[in-house]
Structure 1
Amino acid sequence: MSGTTGFGAPTEFGMHHFYVEIPASQREAICIYEDFGFDGDEARREMVECRLVLARELWNKIRDDARRDFNARLKTKKQSAGSWTIGRVKLDRFLGRELCVLGWAAEHATPDECLVISQKWLALRPEERWWLYSKTASEAGQDSQSDRGWRKALYCALSDGLSIKLGHKQKPKTKEKSEQQDTLPLFDFIEKGDI
């Protein structure tokens, strides 16, 4: 049996896992990546996907609940506990999916709403979080797709529902530039008198 690192991530080279990049600067956003590994074929190119860029102040509101939940579950499997440290923190691929669900819900939130989001996320079973991850990742799983379908729905479902506001938010500061997607106005061709 091989060992683990971080939050249950395999130590073997080329294994599927997630990782969180936590910059030393307290103002810089954190990034969550999915590393698909090599799937047993070292000749195959490694594929890494950035799933989320999250403002540091929002990350600071959700990280402790995620850490406690993950460590309690790792303890039941007799694995060592993980902690959020500066640099790259690896996670088991299932825990990484769950963290994405929490982060995607928090990305549209205010810092005050993060408490409610964390509590509702904690109330979900791991299988429910995995299902939410698969639905969201299939249509809006890249870091640049925060204003689409299930990404917005996660915020609506896990926030208090009283002050839902889904206007455009400014992207958090990060070292990498992200591509912006152009959107077309819906039903632009219809004149006011045509309806």
Structure 2
Amino acid sequence: MNRESSVVEGFGFKPAESEHYFLVSVISPTGDVQISEHMSWNSEMWKGKIHAVKDESDERLRVTLPRVKWDLIADAVSAEFNRRLKEMGYKKGSWKGRGLTPVSRLFGKELVLLGWAIEDADPGRIPAAVANWLGLLPEERWWLYTMTNAATGQASRGRNTGWRAAVRFALCDNPITSSKAEQRVGLIANLDDKEKSIDQEKKKQGSLLDFN
């Protein structure tokens, strides 16, 4: 077997199979954590020549989290991903305290979804968001990411609007378990209604401001 074809970086990312991956960038021990999406593998990044997405308006940047919020989800996400990596026969991954950690395309979608749920949430609601996230099937997380990313996927421009806000409301409320399929279906079905109500409220507020 070609060694390069078997190399696994970070959490399940195999550059030889696909160059589409997500990147968790920890700039400093206390600074914000960036999660970005990349369509091509740049080996120079791992030689210290490229450190992270530097511009908040960069199209590749999906979410930025304060370090305190990242610390509240990092262990749970790592445990979930490593459980599945073990089932796949892959080596375990770990987050770097400072530096770059690549994440496979599918894992990255799931991670960003959780990041969107907590970016503007009260830290006290994060345990509920993690419980809800764990209660969803991976396929459900991928679908929710795709729906949200299509309209509000850029870190700063899509923040707190549409599906992005709806995901926060859904995942930060009543925890569900993987055994309660009807709760998962209900959570997903209600997202579209929440997204519509949020947009309607924003339009209403805009109209009132115009009137004033």
TM-score (norm 1): 0.76
Q: Measured at CA, do residues 12 and 147 of structure 1 come closer, stay the same or move farther in structure 2, by a change above 3 Å? A: same
Tell me the secondary structure at the aligned position of residue 5 of structure 1.
coil
Q: Which has the higher helix share?
A: 2
Please state if 1:160 is matched with 2:173.
yes
Tell me the secondary structure at the aligned position of residue 160 of structure 2.
coil
What corresponds to 1:186 in structure 2?
206
1:73-115: CA deviation from partner (whole Å, max 9, x where unpaired): 0000000111110211000000000000111001121221111
Task: Name stretches of at least 5 consecutive residues in structure 2 with no aligned partner.
Answer: 42-57, 175-201
Could you tell me how far 1:121 is from its partner in structure 2? 0.3
CA distance in 2, matches of 1:189, 1:111: 31
What corresponds to 1:167 in structure 2?
none
Please state if 1:57 is matched with 2:35.
no
- The amino acid of 1:69's aligned partner reads E
CA distance in 1, matches of 2:18, 2:110: 21
Of 35, 42, 63, 1:32 maps to: 35
TM-score (norm 2): 0.70
1:95-152: CA deviation from partner (whole Å, max 9, x where unpaired): 0000001110011212211111001100100000000000110000000121211111
**Residue pair 1:17, 1:91 contacting (<8 A) in 2 also:** yes
Please state if 1:130 is matched with 2:134.
no
C-alpha RMSD of the superposition: 2.4
| Equivalent runs, 1:21-170 vs 2, <5 Å | 21-26=25-30, 28-37=31-40, 49-85=60-96, 86-144=98-156, 145-160=158-173
Q: Measured at CA, do residues 94 and 186 of structure 1 come closer, stay the same or move farther in structure 2, by a change above 3 Å? A: same
Tell me the secondary structure at the aligned position of residue 100 of structure 2.
strand
Could you tell me how far 1:30 is from its partner in structure 2? 0.3
Aligned residues: 162
